[in-house]
């Protein structure tokens, strides 16, 4: 027994020794090394990037605003060696069943169409004609899986020549609603190039993985090296229902006025959360589509800036709300410029009534009387109120206001009513929202939180830009003046339309929800010249006036279809419709055919 065990032990030792010697030989003998390197190179080994699933963009209630939908282009490479073994035996055997299967799955053309395409490619003499996109359109994931089960195709690329090009497509269930704010992606790279898709790219994109395609036991396998990490979901402050309310109201008015473009922004008063951002541009065929994000582009604001001028004067105690200013029916000549009013009559306005009637002359006199020799103090006061602050928000292209210290008295007088300054609609609505919010200016907010698989990764809170934009006294007086703009039937530019002393229509006035705000009309500056008959009209309001919950701006650029347009009527009615439907959506009352049918106690 001992002898037998000794012999077995010796044999095992000899075997191990042979293995070690062989290993050393293979590693060090050049002839053997070269042989095995050739074998290694003959094995297919390709690194393949695994694309992660892009995260979703959701509204505040979890409704999907943008989501990735897998779609594919299907190619056939008829140069694959297996198809040519034995002449064309394999190709001829399966071409009919593949063509029949494609026609049955896609239901868009005949089997003969696919059969002819494959045959032309297979027998083509030019190599570039031998690889074709077998299906002209993209196929979805379900169609792709069905195609992969077809005879021969199921054997993979190296037998059938079938391969798939994954397309980066984003589905927007609500269509063009808020499209410029949500953004878009490049199909080739899958990277965002506009809106939230661009600004939140680092979260949405995720992290690529890697797999290695190589020959294993006589067949090709994809072996994972690193797993792809899917992108985060972005939960916004937007509300799909409120966005639809805003876009519907804006589109209706744009179709009537045939304006170049219009935009609306709806902001929640206390939090600064943006519930809707809508932009519509007129196309060549007359349709209105989302093209540019006008809400973040700065423009001359016109008379909506008068509220800012009034706040500055009152807060600096330069004048009182009931101080009077003489206004003539003739232009007011101030150095080299003539200031005119749309309301031509000799009268005396208080500062309160001057805002209601939107008198350019009164405001030019008010600001020059207060700051004529110290224009830098006027601009400094505006800056202290947050008017000049840049707004950092997850919407690309937000422009900083342009409000510079004027070099002459004339420029100062024009700044008083919104010329020689540039402010974006988003900046304007932020300031008016501060008035509605007891003087507290909050930063506009559009991203609420970041999630992965339903779990919160990061949460964003309301940020205060300025705790008080002005004194409480000045704030109360400005609110009184903004009330009159809508509710003073004799002076208010957003109150009523009258004919023969009788009310024939209402502008921003509503018996469902009380609105306070300001109108604005600015002549357009084109090629360095202000152009007659071309204007930008605006209304900004907050509601309900008694306890504000929302602030809304509507801006319409160059209405074509009117011989006389009216910011209070055109833009005021848009904000009024938004306000009525927003409060109905909040459950304050129920609307039926535009009429209130019941009220809820809040």
- Identify the pLDDT of residue 66: 93
Which pLDDT score is estimated for 32?
Answer: 64
Lowest mean pLDDT among 122-131, 200-209, 481-490: 122-131
Report, as an integer, the average pLDDT of 200-207.
92
Kindly indicate the confidence band of residue 183, based on its pLDDT and cuts at 50, 70 and 90: very high
pLDDT tens, position by position, 523-573: 998 888 888 888 999 999 999 999 999 999 999 999 987 667 899 999 999
* Per-residue CA distances from 555 to 98, 216, 336, 376, 577 (Å): 57, 65, 31, 29, 14
Q: Is the pLDDT of residue 33 over 70?
A: no
Quote the percentage of the chain above a pLDDT of 90.
62
In this predicted structure, the answer to whether residue 46 has a pLDDT above a threshold of 80 is: no
State the pLDDT confidence band at 601, using cuts at 50, 70 and 90: very low
- Rounded Cα distance between 290 and 303, Å, is 27
Distance (Å, rounded) from C-alpha 348 to C-alpha 354? Answer: 9
C-alpha torsion sign, points 427, 428, 429, 431:
positive
CB 574 within 8 Å of CB 250: yes
* Whether pLDDT at 397 is above 50: yes
Q: What is the side-by-side strand order in the sheet with 57-58?
A: 170-171, 64-68, 57-58, 233-236, 447-452, 455-459
Determine the average pLDDT of the residues in 403-407: 93
Where is 59: in which H helix or E strand? none
Tell me which H or E stretch contains 547: none
pLDDT, averaged across the chain: 89
The yes-or-no verdict on residue 254 having pLDDT over 90 is yes
Given pLDDT bands bounded at 50, 70 and 90, which one contains residue 4? confident
Q: Is pLDDT at 88 greater than 70 in this prediction?
A: yes
pLDDT at 96: 92
3-state secondary structure (DSSP) of residue 231: coil
> Quick one: pLDDT band at residue 405, thresholds 50, 70, 90?
very high
Least confident of 219-223, 258-262, 273-277, 467-471: 219-223
Can you give the pLDDT at residue 220? Answer: 58
**What's the distance, CA 268 to chain centroid?**
18
pLDDT tens, position by position, 425-464: 999 999 999 999 999 999 999 999 999 988 999 999 999 9
Say whether pLDDT at 251 is over 70: yes
Q: 472: part of which helix (H) or strand (E)?
A: helix 472-487
Rounded mean pLDDT, 88-96: 86
- Is it the case that residue 223 has pLDDT exceeding 80? no
**Tokens 């979703």 map to which residue?**
56
Q: What is the gyration radius of the CA atoms in the chain, in angstroms?
A: 35
- CA-to-CA distance for 541 and 182, rounded, in angstroms? 25
Return the higher-pLDDT residue of 3 and 496: 496
pLDDT at 213 over 80: no
DSSP secondary structure, 404-415, as one string:
PPPSSHHHHHHH
Q: What pTM was computed for the model?
A: 0.83
Neighbours of 165 (CB within 10 A): 11
Q: Are 371 and 317 in contact (CB under 8 A)?
A: no
Q: Is residue 69 over pLDDT 70? A: yes
374's CB contacts (< 8 A; 6+ apart) are none
439 backbone φψ class: left, alpha, beta (φ>0; ψ -120 to 50): left
Average pLDDT over residues 302-322: 97
Plot region of 286 (φ>0 → left; ψ -120 to 50 → alpha; else → beta):
left
Residue of 413, 226, 393, 424 lying closest to 336 (CA atoms): 413
pLDDT in tens, 450-504: 999 889 999 999 999 999 999 999 999 999 999 999 999 999 999 999 888 899 9
Mean pLDDT of 421-426: 97
| Rounded alpha-carbon distances, angstroms, from residue 511 to 153, 574, 589, 590 | 68, 15, 12, 13
Q: How far apart are CA 223 and CA 226, in angstroms?
A: 9
pLDDT of res. 140: 87
Determine the longest span between alpha carbons in the chain, in angstroms.
133
- Secondary structure string (H, E, C) spanning 117-184: HHHHHHCCCCHHHCEEECCCCCEEHHHHHHHCCCCCHHHCHHHHCEEEEEECCEECCCCCCCHHHHCC
């Amino acid at each position: 027994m001992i002898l037998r065990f000794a012999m077995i032990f010796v044999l095992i030792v000899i075997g191990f020794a042979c293995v070690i010697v062989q290993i050393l030989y293979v590693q060090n003998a050049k002839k053997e090394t070269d042989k095995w390197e050739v074998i290694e190179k003959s094995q297919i080994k390709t690194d393949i990037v695994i694309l992660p699933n892009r995260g979703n963009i959701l509204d505040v209630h979890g409704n999907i605003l943008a989501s990735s939908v897998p779609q594919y282009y299907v190619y056939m490479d008829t140069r694959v060696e297996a198809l040519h073994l034995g002449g064309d035996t394999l190709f001829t055997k399966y071409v009919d069943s593949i063509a029949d299967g494609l026609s049955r799955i896609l239901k868009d053309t005949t089997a003969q169409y696919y059969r002819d395409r494959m045959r032309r490619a297979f027998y083509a003499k030019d190599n570039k004609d031998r690889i074709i996109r077998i299906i002209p359109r993209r196929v979805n994931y379900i169609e792709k899986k069905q195609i992969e089960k077809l005879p021969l195709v199921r054997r993979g690329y190296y037998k059938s020549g079938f391969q798939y090009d994954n397309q980066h497509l984003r589905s927007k269930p609500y269509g063009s609603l808020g499209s410029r704010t949500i953004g878009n992606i490049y199909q080739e790279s899958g990277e965002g190039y506009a809106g939230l898709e661009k600004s939140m790219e680092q979260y949405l994109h995720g992290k690529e993985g890697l797999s290695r395609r190589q020959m294993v036991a006589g067949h090709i396998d994809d072996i994972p090296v690193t797993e792809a990490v899917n992108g985060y979901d972005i939960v916004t402050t937007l509300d799909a229902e409120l966005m639809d309310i805003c876009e519907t109201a804006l589109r209706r008015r744009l179709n009537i006025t045939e304006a170049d473009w219009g935009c609306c922004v709806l902001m929640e008063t206390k939090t600064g959360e943006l519930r809707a951002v809508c932009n519509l541009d007129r196309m060549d065929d007359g349709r209105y589509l989302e093209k540019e994000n006008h809400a973040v582009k700065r423009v001359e604001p016109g008379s909506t800036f008068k509220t800012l001028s009034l706040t500055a004067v009152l807060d600096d105690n330069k004048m009182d709300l009931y101080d009077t200013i003489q206004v003539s029916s003739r232009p007011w000549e101030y150095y080299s410029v003539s200031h005119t009013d749309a309301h031509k009559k000799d009268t005396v306005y208080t500062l309160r009534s001057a805002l209601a009637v939107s008198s350019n002359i009164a405001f030019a006199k008010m600001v020059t009387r207060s700051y004529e020799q110290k224009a830098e103090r006027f601009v400094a006061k505006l800056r202290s109120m947050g008017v000049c602050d840049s707004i950092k928000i997850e919407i690309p292209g937000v422009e900083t206001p342009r409000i510079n210290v004027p070099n002459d008295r004339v420029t100062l007088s024009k700044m008083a009513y919104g010329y020689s300054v540039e402010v974006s609609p988003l900046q304007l609505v932020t300031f008016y929202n501060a008035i509605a919010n007891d003087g507290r200016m909050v930063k506009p907010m559009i991203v609420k939180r970041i999630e992965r698989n339903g779990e919160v990764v990061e949460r964003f809170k309301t940020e205060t830009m300025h705790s008080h934009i002005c004194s409480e006294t000045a704030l109360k007086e400005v609110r009184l003046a903004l009330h009159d703009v809508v509710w003073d039937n004799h002076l208010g530019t957003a109150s009523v339309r009258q004919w023969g002393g009788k009310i024939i229509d209402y502008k921003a006035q509503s018996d469902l929800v009380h609105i306070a705000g300001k109108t604005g009309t600015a002549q357009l500056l084109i090629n360095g010249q202000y152009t007659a008959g071309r204007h930008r009209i605006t209304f900004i309001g907050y509601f309900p006036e008694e306890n504000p919950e929302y602030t809304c701006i509507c801006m319409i650029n160059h209405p074509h279809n009117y011989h006389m347009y009216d910011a209070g009527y055109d833009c005021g009615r848009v904000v009024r419709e938004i306000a009525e439907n927003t409060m109905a959506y909040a459950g304050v009352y129920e609307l039926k055919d535009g009429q209130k049918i019941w009220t809820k106690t809040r």
